[in-house]
Amino acid sequence: MKLLSKLKKQALIMLCISAVSTQCFADRIKDFADIAGQRSNQLVGYGLVVGLDGTGDQTTQTPFTLQSVLQMIGVLGVTIPQGGGQTQLRNTAAVMVTADFPALARPGQQIDVTVSSLGNATSLKGGTLVMTPLKAADGQVYAQGQGNIVIGGSRAATGGAATSINHLNAGRIPAGGLIEKAVPSLLADEFIQIDLRRADFALMQKTAEAIGRRFGLGTALPIDARSLNVRVPVEPLQRTAFMAALQDLDVQMVPGPAKVILNSRSGSVVMNQAVQLSPSAVAHGNLTVKIQQSPTVSQPLPFSRGQTAIASQDTATISDSGKENSLISVPPGASLDQVVKALNMLGATPQDLISILQSLKSAGALRAELEVI
């Protein structure tokens, strides 16, 4: 009886762990998919920053700044006498203003804008952006930008020497953009299109199945590996409630493609759990990498209802002939992560890592997509 009670407790624990693990690998639809037609748009504009403490553009080297100032004050009714081209401005700078127009934004809403120096100003700290029209790709004005620039940094100058903390030629204006025009939205229809951020037939199948279980069969109609049509109510209140439930619907995720990201500047390597290595050997300069593979049998625990499986134990050995006692053995079950760590312990440079990983990829030993940034 005690043995039976113990086995029941173990089975209950395994079921709880399985339920928790299944939940952990489920994401909401809003986390991996977007609604077609509801996206942000980029805005850009050219403007002037005033009120600088002598750190603005040198107008003799940036004539467009002076031209912009003359046009601006001309609109305000100020005229410059003949010969005003020699005017020197130290407190003004020409800037580019950028912002993201959110999806479904409406006139009167405020957005953040980024201000970046266009000329040779040394600092925009303390400056104020004058009203600047922000245009989209179609050339129409959708917002106006204006306000005080926020920059986290400082600059000090004494005589001919100067020093600065952080970057002072770019800053942000929180809520500095005012939306003047809305982007035309799609008309209410019987179907909406959901686009996955990563094209994957397996994920598309699970998404369609989850929507069908929640809202009924025939609600989701997959188009391809990225898009599917979802039948939605036409009545506004029902449509809103339906979309809220749809975006919060959990879908069991599928493993993504094996991928390795290598930063050529810092030498850092990032990979996902799908990356695998095959038996191989690579020689690069003084470095030698050997990866061997031997089959093993995995037996399930008693009463676990598991199946006997044949697995493999990988052993990686990395040596450097230029160093004494520099042989490093990676334990059985070697992964690319362990290989990279061992190479770093031997003092391999980022270029060594790139060359070795590219060689493994070319030889078919690295079963993953290699991306160098």
The pLDDT tens digits for 334-344 are 566 666 666 66
Mean pLDDT (the chain, rounded): 77
Q: Answer yes or no: are the C-beta atoms of 49 and 93 closer than 8 Å.
A: yes
339: left (phi over 0), alpha (psi -120 to 50) or beta: alpha
Q: Answer yes or no: are the C-beta atoms of 56 and 88 closer than 8 Å.
A: no
pLDDT of res. 3: 46
pLDDT of res. 23: 44
Choice between 258 and 304, residue whose per-residue pLDDT is larger? 258
What share of the chain in percent tops pLDDT 70?
Answer: 67
| SS3 of residue 147 by DSSP | strand
Candidates 7, 149, 124, 145; CA nearest to 57 is: 124
pLDDT of res. 93: 93
pLDDT of res. 320: 54
- How many Cβ atoms from other residues are within 10 Å of residue 45's Cβ? 22
pLDDT band, very low/low/confident/very high, at 331 (cuts 50, 70, 90): very low
In the sheet that holds 328-330, the strands lie side by side as 280-284, 287-298, 309-320, 328-330
| Cα distances (Å, whole numbers) of residue 26 to 1, 13, 149, 206 | 38, 20, 42, 11
User: Among 36-45, 219-228, 300-309, which is the least confidently predicted range?
Assistant: 300-309
| pLDDT over 60 at 358, yes or no | yes
pLDDT band, very low/low/confident/very high, at 7 (cuts 50, 70, 90): very low
| pLDDT over 70 at 256, yes or no | yes
Choice between 189 and 33, residue whose per-residue pLDDT is larger? 33
Give phi and psi for 204, each to the nearest 5. Answer: -60, -40
pLDDT band, very low/low/confident/very high, at 324 (cuts 50, 70, 90): very low
Average pLDDT over residues 270-282: 70
pLDDT tens column, 120-157? 888 899 999 999 999 999 999 999 999 999 988 666 65
What share of the chain in percent tops pLDDT 90?
Answer: 28
pLDDT tens column, 77-130? 887 766 555 667 889 999 999 999 998 889 999 999 999 999 888 889 999 999
pLDDT of res. 336: 66
Number of residues written out for the chain: 373
pLDDT tens column, 162-205? 566 678 899 999 999 999 998 877 656 788 899 998 888 999 99
pLDDT of res. 70: 85
User: Among 37-41, 240-244, 315-319, which is the least confidently predicted range?
Assistant: 315-319
